[in-house]
Amino acid sequence: MLSPRLALACALALGAIPSALAQDTQRFRTDKVEVIVETVSRNLENPWGLAFLPNNRMLVTERPGRLRIVDANGTLSEPLQGIPRIVARGQGGLLDVAVDPNFAQNRLVYLSYAEDRGEGRAGTSVARGRLNANGTALEAVQVIFRQEPTHTGNNHWGSRLVFDRGGNLFVTLGDRFDLRNQAQNPANHIGKVVHIKPEGGAAPNNPFLNREDAKPEIWSIGHRNLQSAALHPTTGELWTVEHGARGGDEVNIPQKGKNYGWPVISYGVDYSGAKIGEGTRKEGLEQPVYYWDPSIAPSGMAFYTGDKFPAWRGSILVGALAGKLVSRLETNGNRVTGEERMLQQLGERIRDVRQGPDGFVYLLTDSRNGRILRMKPAT
């Protein structure tokens, strides 16, 4: 009789997965490579953000307000103590997580989340705390950024956290849905990318530092709801992907002080079918690098730089919620030259995409029984 492991290996070789294991290990063909998608961990409630710790461990957020450590075997810790008070309503809750570039020395962890500001109003905030020695709590937690103004709505909070090469932090912020016209107003943080120091306060090279009519933390304006962000591995520039309405999801390279058009220009239409703004182009407003129409509802992205999928090197991997897929964008410099859509057969809303230190690709599935998945080459 074959051992369970050998039986699984034979089934994989034949392209067939036993039904009892289908949820844990699946095999897919893509244009460049055949991949295996395996479950690392499960029973996560709407996981949102993923970050890697030393020793093959991960931090994962759950939108209702839990932060957990996942060990190399996929075992989930109990929820960490010391997490800021979270407003979990609509699309809001505990959102992204990032690890300080100097984590080995300072053990600092950063969280973005929907924060209660009183009287039914809330906004996207960023806090940081020190992971204690036994990995059970964040200590000395401080709020380092608060989006202004607050709002009573439930949608479009952003928000991804990305450290630049100088150690400052980019934070992507949504337009809060009902406040979309404020994305054009530099006097607030609605529909903006902000750039802050790790302890809080505007980063020193920001474009609006000396303007009384603008928030000094702002890096770029005119965004809708950015839930994907990553640094280009060669140039160090920030790239983002944001949700359109009905169509018009955009890939952008936000430059300091520039305006990316929302809601004056868009490649989508309103949910009612009505036209948005003034069309698709206007002088002084930036064009996207790439856009989707119809929308795939993008969330989470990573530039692939590893050695496990050499044919993907230089590609951007973007998760899709409504599209239930991973979009692989081929690039040449600052241009997107092609797209491949992968893993539709999973039937999962993909919330986040990360390249692991091991060179494999990790995905979060957005559901009440969410999973951490790992993509590996099938050979």
- State the catalytic residues: 156
Environment class of residue 93 by beta-carbon count within 10 Å: exposed (0-12), middle (13-18) or buried (19+)?
Answer: buried
Burial call 286-297: b when 16+ CB within 10 Å, e when fewer: bebbbbbeebbb
Please name which of 45, 299, 324, 354 lies closest in space to residue 157, comparing C-alpha atoms: 299
Q: Which amino acid is at 239?
A: W
Q: In DSSP terms, which residues pair with 131 in a beta bridge? A: 138
Distance CA 120, CA 247 (A): 31
Distance CA 14, CA 187 (A): 60
Count of C-beta atoms within a 10 Å radius of residue 23: 12
